């Protein structure tokens, strides 16, 4: 089965002995990360929970979120079972299945655990807000870190354990692990994305526009669904996405290293770098503290600390392993990429920054001009991320060949825990704000939660930059690994079969996102109708005397989100299979290299256009251009609505798309080699 | 300079003698086309012009349009002069300059003549509407055919004359001709696109929303600018775009044929096919007649007739030249592609068709959901066009190698005259409607012009499908020619330098369109302010007592559109030069093959999303979902505004972008070969 050269490693037992050492290292660091996550969970959960009303709401959100993840698990389970059976037909089928199921289960566990702590951290953050920003900020960060460290913990432990049973020559089996993580991520991203925005858009449309209720008003029957959405989308979905990037990058790096077949040194380097990331991320937690206005600064400080500490350890590892110092170039490229993507997104989508102010200004001309400027800004934001990724690829390649690209990707993704911590901060503070609003907490507390909520919006947007860039880098690494797995030495774009593949690849992200956008449009409409129905039939909802039927609203989104995700899922899995079988492996290579950049720019465009329009609305709400309730504000709300599925559904789901397509392509390599028509 | 093999054609004089025959053929058919155009112009201009008030308005639109094209000519002239001087540094510089200037001048002439007749046909169409649909329809079609036949006439004559002075071995000089056409097209598309939508959006925003004036109300100071925009954008811009596709496809086909170097037969085939298209297009004019409700059918009939007649002649040519019958596969693929792209666009964007009704339905939820469904529809429309193009490429390649791809592209573009006729019908009827409205023509006449205006909207949208597909096919052919010109035998996507090129290529269309969207947003805003200023300072405008200062409004858009086009132009020309010099020829190949599909899908997405949202608004205006003035209608107006720059500025401009980048890459081949850093 294995296609990798392994001249230097003839002795299976010898390999094992050399490698055991680093398996144990990465295993140990995985355990450390998981332990940190457990401690963070324990500390978070031991904080004060607030009064009964707060608990009631938090409980509703928690149970809605769990209900969704449980039902989603059933759908995913069905796919996993079918695919596991299919994989048995492959050579090494059992081993692949073990890897695959491990990947799927750890991914879901990450999402599940992270989200379960997040839905408990929200109320504690709201409560902590009574004591000021500092307390609330750290509670949310701590709650978020549970997800962050669980991700790298599960990733390192899973990989290290699997490696115990593999040799360099059959390491391609690991791609099963990557595919398991990808599959779950695709579901979590797509399902969660559709869920969160259907609920959000639906709640806003009818709540804010028709009924004139403020955000998070408990009289809005869709309000709980909206808060559930934050958790299943921004928290669970994002966790699965970044977990997947983390895992598949490591797998791709190992595959590429094995393909080079020179030594265990090349093979162990990525795992050492990932381990260094654990230390860096733990240290960064100390810097992720804020007292007030400096909250954004704290985020930069946290990431910078993670980068510096990780880089120092990376340097020690590089010299210790005897690599030339030039190997630090890919490492540093990867690490810098993380903070650059963060900063670029911050500039283009940050409230009060020039691009956002321009959109707010355009809102004076109405919803149309607001959206035109929003889309234009989104298009513009693609420039620097792509150019930086290109530079990172070229520098890394110049320094250490294709292996350098894998190293850069690994270094970048070694910051996963820190970034995911900052990201999960978003839905926690968002929910905390919701709880504070719904339970009429005092104004000074509300000011704290509102501030954190706004910051959370920024972190959700900026970490998306990392997730999108990470996915692109990781998919590029998979592309290199793909060529190795299929013994392809050249994918010649001048060959029209390859050209055909490139066209189909560029097309796929557009079609894929069209289903997602449509699903949000449709489901939001159902939500609107349900809210209207409740308000009409259950008198007293608007006066606050009757409690709306939150559960039913939650149910509608749950059912429809799960229904809507089937077509895009199948599309993502089947496209590479059909292209690989009908047009052959080189066309499949074309598909990958056509898809990755197309998806990268489309995701950046969508995510950033959405975030910028969201923040333009928020900027107006601070009193600019007429403030809340003005015509400009109404126009900005239209932009925000358009931006919602762009930034939280279609855009991020593309990350999962490109990784699933890439892993399927590698996983089924033997099938394509044996049965392709061309 | 020439890199083409020419084993079979050692004798320069011998070549000339064999080839003279087909030069004369294509020259003759070019003259026939131009003569047809002249006759059509004469017949159109000899029609009745209507009363004084109508003439006054028509004259205002005409002089505004001419003023814009004249000023645009100055800007383009500056670029042409600078580039001509630069080209003198190349080997064969003088010959390249002759080709380049011919290309630029013929392109501008096509746009200029076509538009000049169109701005005179509008009033005649309005007048003819007094006699019913049939008369008005044919007047508009005849006026449009002036552009259509001028395009193929100039193209064939220009190429045939240039060929007299070239041999197969130095035929690459022809790319100068293609680049000239591309450059002008880029300006005409971008400048015209920014102009038309800034004026349109500006006029609508303040006119319809603030002042509550109907469309084309003479009291709106922006109304003339809006009508000028239709002509300089939809008419002149589109003409230059399709002319360019026509020319560069023929040039690329000749380059590919010369590269194969086997015989004059391969070399003459594309020109014969283009000549067959002249006959087909002339015959189609007979079928482009409509009496009433069957107007759309007439369009399908016209295109079908053109295809059938052209196919018959193509068959005769193919067998006469002794090509295997399989060569008809690329020919038929190309011809079918034309009508398929037309039909797909019609389905997705036609008023009353399912996708458009869905958007109109979503408008009930507000502007946000309207745009969400519009964007989702736009994304979806990318599927069939790309798949059909891919199939055409694969079939053509299977039948006749890379030469087959060139043949398919040539066959498709041989329908240029018919498609351009149908397209130019759009701005003529749009303007006719405007004149009828502004001069208060009787309701029964207005009903005729309104119907034709609606049909014109459909033809503008559907022919855009052809223009976008044509650009993609033509750019793919140029890509093949590019590899020949730079002696590249493989563009290996696994080489990270090529990967870098692909990423940059996928990025370019996004950045390019961001500038265009922004320019529309900004200039529309200036227009809004000017209209407000006039209404405020010139009392009596709203009561109709004072004539607004139309010229000033025209001037503002003119100046700003011309200012805004510089950056995107320079970006388009410099990007391939920088990539070619810094990263080398293979990265440049990567850039082209990354850019073409990315641009193709983005253009389809933008153009179709815009057209669908436009027609959703129109659908509501027929009384559905509350009709005009309802909340759904207001929401649909937002969608229409967002769609405007997508469909008429950014989307179509991408066609010109990919051709300019491709022709620059071939034109500067010797520079890249000599001076590239890598």
- DSSP structure string for B465-514: HHHHHHHHHHHHHHHHHHHHHTT----BTTSHHHHHHHHHHHHHHHHHHH
The rounded mean pLDDT for chain A is: 90
- A491-495, B196-200, B539-543: lowest mean pLDDT where? B539-543
Question: CB-side exposure of A642: number of CA atoms within 13 Å?
Answer: 39
| Across A643-652, average pLDDT | 94
- Is residue B277 within 8 A of residue B310, CB to CB? The reply is yes
When scoring B203, B329, B344, B367 by the number of chain A Cβ atoms within 10 A, the one with the most, hence best to mutate, is B367
The pLDDT value recorded for residue B479 is 95
Q: What residues does B492 pair with on adjacent strands?
A: A492
Cβ neighbors of B234 (< 8 A, separation 6 or more) are: B192, B196, B423, B424, B426, B427, B430, B460, B648
Report pLDDT for B100: 96
CB count within 10 Å of CB A560 equals 20
DSSP class per residue in A171-186:
GGGHHHHHHHHHHHHH
Radius of gyration in angstroms for the set of CA atoms belonging to chain B, rounded to a whole number: 24
Please indicate if any CB of chain B lies within 8 Å of the CB of A623. no
- Looking at residues A209-222, what average pLDDT do you find? 82
Domain segments of chain B as ranges: 12-675
Chain B interface mutation, best of A194, A360, A384, A499, highest count of B Cβ atoms under 10 Å: A499
pLDDT of B297-324, one tens digit each?
Answer: 899 999 999 999 999 999 999 999 999 9
> Residues 248-267, chain A: which have Cβ within 8 Å of B?
none
**Would residue A215 be called left, alpha or beta, if left means φ above 0 and alpha means ψ between -120 and 50 degrees?**
beta
A490 and B489: CB-CB below 8 Å? no
The partner residue sitting opposite B376, judged by closest CB among A201, A505, A521, is: A521
Structure tokens at A677: 């028509």
For A491, the closest of B480, B494, B497 (CB atoms) is B494
CB contact under 8 Å between B638 and A201, yes or no, is: no
- Position A216 pLDDT exceeds 90: no
Band (pLDDT 50/70/90 cuts) for residue A575 is very high
Q: Nearest-CA distance from B55 to chain A in Å?
A: 33
Say whether pLDDT at B17 is over 60.
Answer: no
Instruction: Report the percent of chain B where pLDDT is more than 70.
Output: 96
Residue B374 and residue A521 in contact, taking contact as beta carbons nearer than 8 Å: no
Residue B482's pLDDT band (cuts 50, 70, 90): very high
B14 pLDDT more than 80: no
**Confidence band (pLDDT; 50, 70, 90) for B3?**
very low
Other CB atoms within a 10 A radius of the CB of residue B135 amount to 18
Label residue A39 exposed, middle or buried (CB < 10 Å: 0-12, 13-18, 19+). Answer: middle
pLDDT at B16 (0 to 100): 45
Higher-pLDDT residue of B273 and B219 is: B273
Average pLDDT, chain B: 90
Q: Which of A379, A505, A642 sits opposite B513 (nearest CB)?
A: A379
Q: A57, A439 in Cβ contact below 8 A?
A: yes
Q: How far apart are CA B384 and CA A522, in angstroms?
A: 23
As a whole-number percent, the residues of chain A with pLDDT over 90 amount to 63
Q: Residue A492 — φ and ψ, nearest 5°?
A: -85, 110
pLDDT for B68 equals: 87
A391-395, A488-492, B248-252, B455-459: which range is least confident on average? Answer: B455-459
Match 């080489």 to its residue by tokens.
B495
pLDDT score of A9: 41
Task: Give the one of B379, B496, B646 whose C-beta lies nearest to A510's C-beta.
Answer: B379
CA-CA distance, B227 to B230, in Å (whole number)?
A: 5
pLDDT at position A309:
98
Mean pLDDT of B371-389: 97
* Least confident stretch, A90-99, A160-169, B250-259, B266-275: A160-169
Of the ranges A545-559, A594-608, A630-644, which one carries the lowest mean pLDDT score?
A545-559
Q: How far is C-alpha A45 from the geometric centre of its chain's CA atoms? A: 24
CB proximity B489 to A under 8 Å = yes
Of A205, A372, A394, Cβ closest to residue B642: A372
Which two three-digit tokens encode residue A177?
Answer: 């692990």
How sure is the predictor about A20, in pLDDT bands with cuts at 50, 70 and 90?
Answer: low
Q: Does B376 touch chain A (CB under 8 A)?
A: yes
- C-alpha atoms less than 13 angstroms from C-alpha of B10 in its C-beta half-sphere: 1
Q: Cβ of A590 and B493 within 8 Å?
A: yes
The answer to whether the CB atoms of A506 and B597 lie below 8 A apart is yes
Does the structure show a pLDDT above 80 at A294? no
Buried b (16+ CB within 10 A) or exposed e, B193-206: bbbbbbbbbbbbbb
Task: Specify the pLDDT at position A638.
Answer: 94
* Cβ within 8 Å of B, A 406-445: none
Q: What are the CA-CA distances from residue A552 to residues A64, A212, A225, A226, B359 (Å)?
A: 10, 22, 9, 13, 27
ipTM at complex level: 0.94
pLDDT at A262: 57
Q: What is the spatial distance between Cα A525 and Cα A564, in angstroms, rounded to a whole number?
A: 14
In the prediction, which pLDDT does A540 show?
Answer: 86
pLDDT above 60: residue B598: yes
The answer to whether the Cβ–Cβ distance between A514 and B379 falls below 8 Å is yes
Q: Judge whether B449 is closer than 8 Å to chain A, CB to CB.
A: no
Cα distances (Å, whole numbers) of residue B588 to A388, A396, B572, B654: 18, 20, 13, 18
Instruction: Please compute the mean of the pLDDT values over residues B381-402 and round it to a whole number.
Output: 96
A290-323 in b/e form (b: 16+ CB < 10 A) is beeeebeebbbbbbebbbebbbebbbebbeeeeb
Give residue B323's Cα distance to chain centre.
32
Looking at residue A492, the DSSP 8-state letter turns out to be B
The C-alpha R_g of chain A, in whole angstroms, comes to 24
pLDDT value for B262: 57
| Residues ≥6 apart with Cβ < 8 Å to A231 | A61, A65, A115, A118, A119, A427, A431
Residue A267 is predicted with a pLDDT of 86
Please give the DSSP secondary-structure letter assigned to residue B547: P
Tokens of B130: 């007094």
pLDDT the model gives residue A50: 84
Mean pLDDT, to the nearest integer, of A138-152? Answer: 95
pTM of the model: 0.94
Give the pLDDT score at A325. Answer: 96
Q: Distance between the two ends of chain B, CA-based, in angstroms? A: 21
């Amino acid at each position: 089965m294995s296609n990798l050269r392994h001249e230097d490693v003839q002795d299976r037992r010898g390999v094992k002995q050399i490698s055991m050492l680093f398996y144990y290292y990465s295993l140990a660091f995985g355990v450390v990360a998981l332990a940190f996550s457990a401690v963070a969970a324990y500390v978070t959960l031991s904080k004060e929970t607030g009064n009964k009303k707060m608990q009631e709401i938090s409980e509703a959100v928690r149970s809605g979120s769990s209900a969704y993840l449980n039902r989603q698990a059933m759908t995913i389970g069905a796919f996993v079972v079918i695919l596991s059976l299919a994989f048995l037909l492959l050579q090494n089928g059992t081993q692949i299945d073990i890897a695959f199921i491990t990947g799927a289960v750890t991914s879901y566990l990450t999402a599940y655990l992270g989200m379960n702590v997040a839905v408990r951290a929200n109320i504690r953050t709201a409560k902590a807000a009574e004591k000021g920003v500092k307390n609330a900020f750290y509670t949310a960060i701590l709650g978020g870190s549970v997800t962050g460290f669980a991700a790298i913990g599960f990733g390192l432990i899973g990989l290290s354990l699997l490696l115990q049973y593999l040799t360099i020559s059959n390491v391609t089996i690991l791609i099963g692990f990557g595919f398991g993580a990808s599959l779950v991520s695709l579901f979590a991203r797509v399902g969660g994305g559709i869920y969160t925005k259907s609920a959000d858009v639906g709640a806003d449309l009818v709540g804010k526009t028709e009924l004139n209720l403020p955000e998070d008003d408990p009289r809005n029957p869709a309000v709980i669904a909206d808060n559930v959405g934050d958790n299943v989308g921004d928290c669970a979905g994002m966790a699965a996405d970044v977990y997947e990037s983390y895992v598949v990058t490591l797998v791709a790096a190992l595959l590429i290293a094995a393909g080079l077949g020179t030594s265990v040194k090349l093979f162990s380097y990525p795992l050492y770098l990932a381990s260094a990331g654990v230390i860096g991320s733990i240290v960064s937690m100390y810097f992720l503290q804020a007292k007030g206005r400096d909250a954004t600064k704290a985020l930069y400080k946290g990431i910078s600390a993670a980068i510096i500490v990780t880089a120092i350890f990376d340097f020690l590892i590089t010299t210790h392993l005897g690599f030339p110092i030039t190997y630090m170039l890919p490492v540093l490229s990867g690490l810098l990429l993380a903070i650059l993507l963060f900063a670029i997104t911050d500039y283009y989508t940050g409230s009060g920054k020039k691009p956002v102010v321009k959109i707010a200004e355009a809102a004076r001309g109405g919803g149309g001009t607001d959206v035109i400027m929003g889309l234009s800004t989104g298009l513009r934001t693609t420039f620097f991320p792509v150019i930086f990724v290109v530079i990172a690829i070229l520098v890394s390649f110049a320094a250490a060949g294709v292996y350098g690209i894998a190293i850069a990707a690994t270094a970048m993704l070694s910051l996963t825990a820190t970034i995911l911590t900052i990201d999960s901060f978003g839905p926690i503070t968002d929910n905390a704000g919701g709880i504070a609003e719904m339970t009429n907490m005092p104004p000074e507390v509300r000011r704290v939660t509102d501030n954190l909520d706004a910051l959370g919006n920024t972190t959700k947007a900026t970490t998306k930059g990392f997730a999108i860039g990470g996915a692109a880098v990781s998919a590029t690494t998979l592309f290199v690994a793909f060529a190795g797995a299929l013994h392809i030495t050249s994918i010649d774009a001048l060959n029209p079969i390859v050209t055909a593949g490139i066209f189909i690849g560029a097309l796929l992200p557009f079609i894929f996102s069209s289903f997602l956008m449509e699903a949000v449009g449709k489901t939001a409409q159902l939500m609107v109708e349900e809210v209207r129905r409740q308000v009409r039939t259950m008198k007293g909802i608007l006066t606050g005397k009757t409690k709306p039927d939150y559960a039913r609203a939650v149910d509608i989104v749950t059912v429809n989100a799960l229904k809507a995700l089937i077509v895009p899922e199948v599309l993502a899995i089947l496209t590479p299979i059909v292209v690989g079988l009908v047009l052959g492996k080189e066309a499949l290579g074309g598909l990958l290299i056509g898809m990755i950049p197309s998806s990268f720019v489309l995701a950046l465009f969508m995510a950033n256009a959405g975030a910028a329009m969201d923040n333009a609305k928020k900027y107006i709400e601070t009193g600019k251009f007429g403030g809340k309730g003005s015509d400009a504000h109404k126009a900005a709300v239209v932009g925000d609505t358009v931006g919602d599925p762009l930034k939280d559904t279609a855009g991020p789901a593309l990350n999962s798309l490109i990784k699933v397509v890439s892993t399927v392509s590698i996983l089924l390599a033997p099938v394509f080699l044996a049965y392709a028509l061309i």
